[in-house]
Amino acid sequence: MTDEERVREMVRRVVYQTVGRPAPDPAPRGRTLVTQRTLEDTPVGGELEIPHGAILTPLARQAALERRISLVEPGPAVGTQPTSRTARVGGPRTVAMGADHGGFELKELLKEGLRDLGYDVLDCGTGSTEPVDYPDFALSVAGLVAQGRAWRGILVDGAGIGSCMTANKVPGIRAAMCYDEATALNSREHNDANVLTLGAGLIGPGLARRIVETWLNTPTGGGRHARRVEKIMAIERRFLRA
């Protein structure tokens, strides 16, 4: 193993440790390992077809998220045309949601609204108003987004602050606490936020729904905004390498 490969392996394990998952062994024989380097020739906003059953490294998923690359797998060979494909990995209708006891009721309302709009919701809990710790649920949601298993994440606690802080500890996450439609729009257009946090004690259900819909429907601005977002992620990568 070269020095570069050893460094990449160390970073891989640090990222898995950060999102609370054990780092798997390198790809078993016969399975393709998709790394950050695999994505280098794919343009920003492009699409990359990955072999069925391929293993994606955390850095590859992070790179795909940062560069908005859609990862698709070929569809099953039997009974389908050769060009058919499965759904996108973490496709643009999959939203991970989580809340502590203070945000449980608002999460439930928002979850039903998203499903009515045709989104697939991955509910990470909590499931009641019994007291729990918000970092646990923030980590679950942020982990799904960072791994590419969810397109976006939404977190609800009493103020929205603690969940935002927690989510932003996960590599690849840009969480934004929003309290009106203007901040929701700005967080997407200027900052390409991929996790939204809300304070159930600060906003009502009607405003929360409008914030969520604005946030989900606003594309990132590109241009000077993309350059600045890349600088944010470069800072993160620098400390991951430290």
Closest CA to 193 of 162, 213, 172, 224: 172
- Quickly count: other Cβ atoms within 10 Å of residue 222's Cβ: 14
d(CA 54, CA 61): 12
- The tokens of 203 are what? 């906003």
Q: Specify the amino acid at residue 79.
A: G
d(CA 37, CA 60): 8
Cα-Cα end-to-end distance for the chain: 20
Per annotation, catalytic residue among 52, 101, 190, 225: 190
Coil, helix or strand for 34? strand
Examine the residue annotation and report whether 190 is marked as an active-site residue of this protein.
yes
- Residue position matching structure tokens 């929360």: 208
Using an 8 Å Cβ cutoff, are 195 and 175 in contact? Answer: yes
Task: State how beta strands 152-157 and 195-199 pair.
Answer: parallel
Q: Which residues are catalytic?
A: 190
